[in-house]
Homo-oligomer: A and B are copies of this chain.
C-alpha cells in the first residue's frame, strides 16, 4: 500500500540514497562517496555497481538534505533594484553564468529601490542559507543594513568605495565619466556640457558627477545645466522635455547622461522635438548596455566591464572576500558624440 504520510503530495516516495545502497548492495556511505567523488576512495567495481543502481533507479540526490547537512546551498542570492533594467539584466546574466560554472544557481530578488525591502530580501536569502549574497544597493553603500550577513559572505556591486566587512567592487565611475566628457570637449570642442543625473540620495551618482565636473575644470569650462531625475528611460525623457521647454530653449553643446537608460529617454525627447543628435546636441552616457549600441544614433558610452565584474563578484563570495576592486570603463565611440564611426554598426559577437 502507498504510504499516505508524505508531507506534501509528492506523487510517490522519491528514490533515496538508501534505495540505491540496497540495490547496489553497499552502504549509504559508499553511495555518498561515489556520488561526491570523495572524501573516501571507493573500489572501481563497487563504484560502477553504484552508478548502475543510480541509473536504474533514476536516483537524484535531494539537495535540501544536502544543504541542511552542509549548512550551505550552492545558491547565490542577487538583490537588485530592478532586474528588468537592462543593465542589471545583463549583469544578472553574467552572474548566473559565473555561478553556473561553479555549480551554483542564482536566486534573484528585487528591492525596487526600497531600503526596507532590500533589508527584507537580505534576511530572507540569508535564511535560505545562500552560499553568498551579491547586492546592488539602491541606497548608499554604507547604509546597507546587512545584519543578516552573520554567516553569509556579501559582495556589494556598483559600489563607489570600500565598506568595512564587505567585499565591494564597482566601475571607476569618476574615470569613466571624465573620459566621456573629455572626449566631448577635446574631440568635439564642446564648450557647454550638461549633466543628466539621478536621484541625489544615490551615492553612486557622486563619482560620475565628479568626473563630469573634473573634465570641465581641467579645460577651464563652467558647469553646464544640471538635470535630475530617476535612473530610467522615463526619467531621461522627462529631463529631455524639461531641457526643451520654453520657446527658445538654450541647448548646451553636449550632454552627459549617467546611464544608458536616461540617454535613451533623452534621445526620445530630442527626436520628438526634431532636434538632431549629434548635430544639435552631442550625447554620451555611462554603462554601455547592448541597448546603447542599437538605438539611433548609437550612443558613445563609457562601458562597464560587466562580465569581469560579475566574475569578480561571484569570486568574492565563493572563493575569498576581497578589498574594494575598481574596474576601468572603456570609452566606446559611436555616433551620438559626433564621431563618424567607420563601422556602420558594431555588432556584438
Contact A264:B294 (CB < 8 A) given known A84-B89, A128-B63: yes
Looking at the complex, which of A154-162, A178-186, A215-223, A340-348 is the stretch in contact with chain B?
A340-348
| Contact between A344 and B108, CB atoms less than 8 A apart | no
Verify if A39 is at the interface (C-beta below 8 Å from B): no
Contact A294 B68 (CB under 8 A): no
Residue in contact with A8 in the complex, picked from B72, B105, B348, CB distance below 8 Å: B72
* Residues of the B chain whose Cβ atoms lie less than 8 Å from the Cβ of A93: 82-84, 110
**A7 CB contacts on chain B under 8 angstroms:** 69-72
Chain B residues whose CB sits within 8 angstroms of the CB of A237 once the complex forms: 294, 345, 347
Name which of A42-50, A118-126, A191-199, A203-211 contacts chain B.
A118-126
Contacts A84-B90, A84-B92, A125-B105 known; A8 to B70 CB distance under 8 Å?
yes
Residues of B with C-beta under 8 A to A265: 294
Answer yes or no: A97 CB below 8 A from chain B CBs: yes
In the bound complex, how far is the Cα of B264 from the Cα of A271, in angstroms?
Answer: 16
In the complex the two chains form, is B97's CB within 8 Å of A110's CB? yes
A268: Cβ under 8 A from any B Cβ: yes
Residue of A84, A93, A290, A348 with most partner-chain B CB within 10 A: A84
- When all copies of this chain in the complex are counted, the total is 2
Contacts of A234 in B (CB 8 A): 347-348
Q: Which residues of B contact A64 (CB under 8 A)?
A: 64, 67-68, 71, 73, 128-129
Closest chain B residue to A124 by CB distance?
Answer: B105
Choice from B11, B68, B96, B105 contacting A83 with Cβ under 8 Å: B96
Give complex CA distance A90, B83 in Å.
Answer: 8
A10 CB-CB contact with B under 8 Å: yes
A107–B294 touching, CB < 8 Å: no
Whether the Cβ atoms of A68 and B71 lie closer than 8 Å is: no
Residue of B nearest to A126 (CB): B60
Report whether B290 and A268 are in contact in the complex, using a CB–CB cutoff of 8 Å: no
A305 within 8 Å of B (CB atoms)? no
8 Å CB contact of A107 from B14, B84, B105, B148 = B105
Q: Is A100 an interface residue (CB 8 A)?
A: yes
Is A248 in the interface zone, CB < 8 Å from B? no
Q: List 9 A-B contacts (CB under 8 A).
A: A60-B126, A62-B129, A64-B67, A67-B68, A83-B89, A100-B110, A233-B290, A265-B294, A272-B344
Known pairs A63-B128, A67-B68, A291-B291 / 10 extra A-B pairs, C-beta < 8 Å: A62-B129, A63-B127, A64-B67, A83-B93, A83-B96, A92-B108, A100-B109, A105-B128, A108-B108, A296-B296
